[in-house]
Amino acid sequence: MLVRAVRGATTVENNDAEEILNATEELLEAIVKENQINEEDIISVIFTVTDDLNAAFPAAAARRLGWTSTALMCMNEIAVPGSLKKCIRIMLHFNTEKSKSEIKHIYQKGAKALRPDLQDKREEIL
């Protein structure tokens, strides 16, 4: 098996704990579903949030999904002027036989603007 990483991002409207957790959970579920990842194959997940989000740790959404033995880490995203606001980003490392080109990166809501190249490949990214 190889170690691969899959990326994803989403946005929320408000700095609200439940909104952050729900959006993160939705994104994690989409990443796992689209890439056919078993929780046992997940090595670690890095979550970043923009500096305008601090109402909840997005990693708590993974715990709500039952990921109790997966290594999780939350961090702040670099505050680049003019960058997307209220954004949650994920990098999930997992064991797989898939090639890099088979990995489906998932960008939802306002975060779709971060990867317009993926929009060209898929009509609608979850």
Catalytic residue among 19, 25, 29, 77: 77
Residue found under tokens 């999904």: 65
Is residue 4 among the annotated active site residues?
Answer: no
Is residue 39 among the annotated active site residues?
Answer: no
Catalytic residue among 63, 64, 102, 122: 63
Is residue 40 among the annotated active site residues?
Answer: no
Show the tokens assigned to 78: 């670099």
CA angle, residues 56, 59, 61, in degrees to nearest 5: 80
Count CB-CB contacts under 10 A for residue 29: 14
Catalytic residue among 7, 18, 122, 124: 7
Is residue 97 among the annotated active site residues?
Answer: no
Catalytic residues: 7, 63, 74, 77, 89, 107, 115
